[in-house]
Amino acid sequence: MSKEEKKVNRRDFLFTASYTIGAVGVGAVIWPMIDQMNPDKAQQALATTEVDISSIEPGKSITVLWRGKPIFIKKRTSEEIAEARAVKLDDLPDPQKDEDRVKSGKDEWLVMLGVCTHLGCVPLKDKGDFNGWFCPCHGSHYDVSGRIRKGPAPTNMEIPKFEFVDSNTIKIG
């Protein structure tokens, strides 16, 4: 009797084949139901924004909306750049050089996603212990390069993909 049970027979094959085809079928139906929740074509179409930066004074910043998120564009003074570059990398929770956060030759322009990397609030400018940004939600402090210095946020504020179209215009995205 035990010999017969162990033998793979026609019926076992049919069961396994049916389950497999069934699983593929269920998966093929479920995936569209899941993927429909991802950003649609209309959302993806908002992928780039061009911004005129000619009117920004040194030391000042503007906030623009890109993909529903705020982008901080700050024209930094030479003191601020010097301050950002004087920081030792060992003092940073997420070590990154200021040079790596700006386009070389355009060092005064800091363009970053104005979204706290903790839980997504918008940090306030010119606040906090490091002369940069401060997130009011859970108390994260960012420096003048937008790098996390203190608080619960795990990483520096993100630098989006952007380029200078000409000296007065940048294209984000």
Partner 1 sequence: MSDHEYVPKSKVGKWFNDRLPLLTLGAHLTDYPTPKNLNYWWTFGGILTFCLITQIVTGIVLAMHYVAHADLAFASVEHIMRDVNYGWLIRYIHSNGASMFFLAVYIHIFRSLFYGSYKSPREVIWIIGLMIYLLMMAAAFMGYVLPWGQMSFWGATVITNLFSAIPLVGDSITTWLWGAYSVDNPTLNRFFSLHYLIPFLILGLVVLHIWALHVPGNNNPVGIDIKKPSKDTVPFHPYITIKDAFALLVFMIIFAGFVFFTPNVLGHSDNYIPANPLVTPAHIVPEWYLLPFYAILRSVPDKLGGVILMFGAIFILFVLPWLDTSKVRSAVFRPIYRQFYWIFVLDVLMLGYVGAMPAEGIYLVLARVGTIYYFAHFIIVMPVVGLLEKTDPIPMSISEPVLTGGAEPSLARKVNDKV
Residues designated catalytic: 138
Say whether 28 sits in a helix, a strand or coil.
Answer: helix
Residue choice 4, 40, 57, 90 for contact with partner 1 (CB under 8 A) = 40
Cβ within 8 Å of residue 4, ≥6 positions away: none
Instruction: Figure out which of the listed residues 30, 65, 82, 165 binds partner 1, where binding follows CB under 8 A.
Output: 65
Q: Which part of the chain contacts partner 1 (CB under 8 A), choosing from 4-12, 68-76, 80-88, 104-112? A: 68-76
Q: What is the DSSP string of 77-102?
A: -HHHHHHHHHS-GGG-SS---GGGGS
Spatial neighbors of 129 by CB under 8 A, at least 6 apart, are 141, 149, 150
Stretch that binds partner 1, among 20-28, 50-58, 98-106, 133-141 (CB under 8 A): 133-141
**For residues 70 and 75, which CB has a smaller minimum distance to partner 1 in the complex?**
70
Strands, sheet with 109-113, edge to edge from the N-terminal-most edge strand: 61-66, 69-75, 109-113
Beta strand residue intervals within 30-68, DSSP E: 49-52, 61-66
Residue from the set 60, 69, 103, 125 that interacts with partner 1 by CB under 8 A: 69
**Segment lying near partner 1 (by CB under 8 A), choices 22-30, 50-58, 79-87, 129-137:** 129-137
How many C-beta atoms lie closer than 10 Å to residue 152's C-beta? 14
Minimum CB separation from partner 1 for residue 34, in Å?
8
* Contacting positions for partner 1 (CB under 8 A): 34, 37-40, 43, 63, 65, 67-70, 118-123, 135-139, 151-154
